[in-house]
Structure 1
Amino acid sequence: MQKLIKTVTLSVALTLVSGCSYFGVYKRDLPQGNLVEQSAVEQLQPGMSRNQVRQLMGSPLLEAPFDADQWDYVYRLDKAYDGVEQRRVTLTFAGDRLVDVAIQGDLSEEIPLPNVEEAGPASESAQPGATLAPVE
């Protein structure tokens, strides 16, 4: 009987400690695409050249393969426990000039970005709290 109790206790302990945890799986937010902000979209003006748009908005995520006059900027944020937020800005050109801006999604809501210092593991030589010397 005592051997059975030890076996059951060990099995329960190993199950809780292993990857098949009873408490659930850790999820994190998953951002994808171009970060589309309302401030940049507000600066778009009909008649702007492709180079001006590229400097303001960055390179488009999608260029239509059969219609080179359409650029799509798509941002999708799959929130770990709160659904999906998607923003899309479609720019249409006539020749080299911007003629139409179509917006899908709510651009007015601020998107929280992760802190750069928290992203990725620290290097082995880095000391906690130490600052890096500027590159010349």
Structure 2
Amino acid sequence: MQKLTRIITFSATLALISGCSYVGVYKRDIPQGNLITQEMVEQLQLGMTEEQVMYVMGRPLLEAPFDSREWDYVFRLDKAYSDIETRRVTLTFDRQGQLTQINKEGDLSKDLPLDTETSLGPASEGTDPLDALPSDSTQTQPPESERAPAPRP
């Protein structure tokens, strides 16, 4: 009987430790789609060409499959410990490629809490990936006697 009690206690403890955790899981904000800001949308004017719109907003995330005159810019921010924020701008062009309609969804006036300064993401082409690493200011140069001699030309 004592052995059975130990087995049950051990099994219950193991189940609690493995399946139930009181320590929270680390989450991070996940931005997806085209970044849309109020400043970008304010630059849009009816009558702009597709090239001008693309210069201001970038390439659209979605083009209507049956009618390429409608462009959708969608941004979704899945905040780690709160709700999901969605922004959408739909632009419609006429047959001559002129902007005729701007539809906005979501609150564009709020600043987005994107932390782009400290994240180590994909490097731009032509940059050294080691330059993106944070530098340690405590490092010192080795003494002159330990330095390798400079190559002779």
TM class by shorter-chain length?
0.7 to 0.9
Runs of 5+ consecutive residues of structure 1 not aligned to the other structure: 132-136
Name the TM-score, length of structure 2 as normaliser: 0.67
Name the % identity: 50
Runs of 5+ consecutive residues of structure 2 not aligned to the other structure: 122-128, 138-153
Task: Give the aligned partner of residue 149 of structure 2.
Answer: none
1:44-63 equivalent positions in 2, closer than 5 A: 44-63=44-63
Task: Give the aligned partner of residue 27 of structure 1.
Answer: 27
CA distance in 1, matches of 2:68, 2:131: 48
Task: Give the aligned partner of residue 83 of structure 2.
Answer: 83
Q: CA deviation at 1:118?
A: 2.9
**How has the CA–CA distance of structure 1 residues 25 and 117 changed in structure 2, closer, same or farther, with 3 Å as cutoff?**
closer
Q: CA deviation at 1:125?
A: 9.3
Alignment size in residue pairs:
126
Q: Does 1:129 align with 2:130?
A: no
Task: Give the aligned partner of residue 98 of structure 1.
Answer: 99
Structure 1 stretches (4+) deviating beyond 4 angstroms? 123-128
The higher-RCO structure (CA 8 Å, 6+ apart) is 1
Name the TM-score, length of structure 1 as normaliser: 0.74
1:7-46 equivalent positions in 2, closer than 5 A: 20=19, 22-23=21-22, 24-46=24-46
Q: Highest CA radius of gyration, 1 or 2?
A: 2
